[in-house]
Amino acid sequence: MSGKKSLIIFAGICLLLVGVVILNPFMQHNSPTGKEESNVEEENNVEEKNNVEEENNSESVDPNSFFINNWGNANHEVTVELLNSKNTSVFSKSYTSIPGETIKDKFSITPVPGGEVVVTLDNNITRTQTVSENSTSLVLYVDVDMLTSNPLDLSIVLP
């Protein structure tokens, strides 16, 4: 009898775990009070970013190009600068980024390993990425106002 009880308890626990794993994401996704509005908005922006990146990746992307995506509600000045391995600026260009717009451009010079990509938002926030030692080209994604906690985000993809 003790073995039968143990088996029933074990089966119940397994069913409970399976139920939690399957139903938990469904319940969170459909819950009307499960998340704060700002978190939902940030998740939607992340989802939209992934869709745009998939579209950009599905098309042929030129090496040494960059994309500036403005996910917010305001215009921003974005400066993209490329430094060589001696920290000398070899490319610098400013753009006015409009909400919902994607700016696509290309570096006029090939980024060199050990160099840096420096992006500045509204002459205030600066992010820097180092060009990988084993890269011969790159694609840069600049995301503005995608997350309220991080108004400027950079991603480098090696084609």
Average pLDDT over residues 27-47: 47
Give the chain's domains with CATH numbers. Answer: 63-157 (2.60.40.4150)
**DSSP strand E in the chain: where?**
65-70, 76-83, 89-97, 102-106, 116-121, 125-130, 139-147, 150-157
pLDDT digits (tens, 9 = 90+) for 78-119: 999 999 999 999 999 999 999 999 999 999 998 889 999 999
pLDDT digits (tens, 9 = 90+) for 45-79: 555 555 554 444 445 678 889 999 999 999 999 99
Determine the Cα–Cα distance for residues 99 and 78; give it in Å rounded to an integer: 13
Residue 139, Cβ neighbours under 10 Å: how many?
20
